[in-house]
Structure 1
Amino acid sequence: MQVTELLAEGLKREYRVVLPAAELDAKANARLNELKDKVRLNGFRPGKVPVAHLKRMYGKSVLAEVIDQAVNEANNQIVEDNGFKLALQPKVELPQDEAAVNEVIEGKADLTFTVGLEVLPKIELGDFKSIALDKPVLAVSDEEIEDTLTRIAESNRPYAAKQGEAEKGDRVHINFVGSIDGEKFEGGSGEDIPLVLGSNSFIPGFEDQLIGIKEDETRTVEVTFPAEYQAAHLAGKAASFEVTARMIESPAELPQGDEFAKALGLESYDALREQVKSRIAQEHNGQSRNKVKRRLLDALDGLHQFEVPPSLAQQEFDGIWNSVTSEMEAQKRTFADEGTTEEEARADYDKIAKRRVRLGLVLAEIGEKNNIQVTDDEVTRAVVERARQFPGQEQQVWEFYRQNAQALASLRAPIFEEKVVDFLLELAKVNEVPVTREELYAEDEADKAA
């Protein structure tokens, strides 16, 4: 085998490989010798078929198989000899001229092909002990607990049917049909929808116009969708709703104490309070980790600046861009609505794509250098957790992941990332900074970029 380097530019490599016809023929003959004891042909005893006869019958197909194997072996040899780590599978370009191909298949000519490689950069890891991070922390306050308990109680408040006009605080079950300029619109209709008047659950002004409505009464409600409404095709538009009250209910007293807790399946009000406190703490800790993780990734990005494989960056960009443009199309928004241009947006998302690829390579390198691994048990637990998210379909979800290696890898990857993050946070200097709830849950520009 003769290998000639044609290109060494950045992370791209290209080689011309020549596999001599004699070498391919020798491998084909060896393969035919293996087949001699296995092939059954009329007129020949088992194991007595002449190799020359096999070559006449199967020579071309065997040589094609040998060529495929030889190409793969040549590619692997190039990678091994040069100590490359590949970003993508090699791109092989075989001869396209039919006459030239036939000469190779017939063993009359050497096989010459090119192989293009895109390699991963060599990453020099930074000093993780030099990283200093502020971690926002927030203790659970009694006020938060009481507010949450009140919301739980409100959501479980009993209602009783009432006669007469609906008042603020009453729950009205309504049917409605909405229209804009006389035309019904998607998502503008509903049947038997419970609505607590004064809850501000619907468009501003909608609930106020139902004060005083009676059972079986129909009213026309005129409202205007907010300018920042999430469905862009409705934002800022005036709409008319024909609303019929199916039933009116008045609120009963809120459940309290142990009786309230037992209605929710808990032993006592104290147990309910502790569960609420634990859940709030879990939310705060999760948000705190998200913040410190983003700051850690920023620090890693600052420590490791290197060229990323173009194909990986392009794949990441394509995924981001398709998601962004699909969402904008669904919302009927343009780049002008976002205060930018398509060219500027492409440049921004290209930077984000390269950052993601770079950080992914850094995290992978850290994990490899420090023998950080994801166990089968951890993946199994992730599959079980995923299956629980689909009640009644647990077995189908389990089978899907069991039979789909790529889907299983999608569960393994975030587990690996979190383990690497834990490893780095142990090495970094992490300073816990008490913050307010508003500060903890505020989304700053750095968070958006991350």
Structure 2
Amino acid sequence: MTLRGISPARASDGDWSELDHALVTTWSLDTLAVQADVLQQRGDPRGELMALDLNPKPEDRGWRRRRQEVLGTWLGAPLAALAGPLVQHGFIHALRDDRFHPPGLLDSPLGTFVRQYTVRGDEQALARLASRPRPWLVQLTFIPSGPTVRVSDTVRDALIATTPHLQELHLLGSRPPFDAIAHPAVRRVYVGQGRIPVSGSTLTVPDGVEVLGTPDAEGRRGPWVEDAELEFALEAVQEQPDGGQLEESYGADFATVGSLPALLARLRSAGLVTMDGPRVRLTTAGRVLRNLEPLRAPRTPSAPSDLGRWVLWAETRPSVGAPHSVPIKSLRGHIQWLDACLARAPLEKRVQDTLVSYRRFLIDTLVPAGEHEVRAFDASGPLAEAVETLLDLEDLDREFFPENNPLAHDGLGALEAALGSPLDPSPAFFHLVWGS
């Protein structure tokens, strides 16, 4: 797909029933049940999937087997296995462009049924979204990859044409990516509002559209979340793990953070909840954050005291182009950061194990090699996922990361960049340089 000549099909309301319109504007389990009956009468497997998810029995082996069969009929076995846990009632309620969501899902048949989408990137990222109709999309969060990202009128207009029911738009960053948007369905727009106003940071919208500021939006991975909102979301999941009931009972309480499904997607990336079709549950890390069980930090051997002035660098080796070297930080400081994360952060055991293995690699492999060799860490994929988990935890401003903690913007973003993107992963190699 290229930006030039983009001409997506306009999404039409012609085939939409009153039930469809009711569901896109207000989430209702009663309406969903009627829709499930209608689809089943038409022979559409989504109808049976909706009915199964309206009466979830994940502990029942027969229920799980039948659900997977229906998913396979609808999506095909490969996609059903990959994305099945994220499907709820025939929809993807909140999809994020990160390592914890299948990268090809937006372009799959499921991409039609995404209700909320969070994407990071440039104009191309929005062009990809606007390349086909998204009739169920009601909320979009765009996080530009840099302060200079701009979106052309062509892509903006294609986005308007393909999202006829978009109700809410979150534009994070220091300035909106376009100067004006006249979407006939959008009623609320959030724009980045940093501490220092940026020239061109205003956005022109039609009369009646509410424009609100998002505090400290620059560099964030989603709208600002207050501690009370996060705690309330985790408490709600603990009390009501049924995803459909959860949204119907508590959804209206999370408008300022995008929505409850959007927040749950962020909590999933932060390792605090897990999704299994219609069920949402707290992970061990989530239970630790709720003080339902203690933090069990792994034991690690003491770091050597003679690390001197070693500086850690990472090097990507893409299939096309020259290698790209990224300075991380001093080796001593980086290990202190790892130790702080392991000691304070609520992390799942697999994330802890990955960070412990990476720490061991730095001390036992890189230090003896000195400046003479570039070494690959043999678990770059799990390390990239662990780094993204930590970035999402940091973005939620949890108290286990004090202001003077080495985590704060100290090598974490550089390490993420060196490990590559989920769409174009590259192996990461590490080396040390003697410096100051």
TM-score (normalised: structure 2): 0.21
TM-score (normalised: structure 1): 0.21
Select the structure that is richer in strand: 1
Select the structure that is richer in helix: 1
Larger Cα-atom Rg: 1
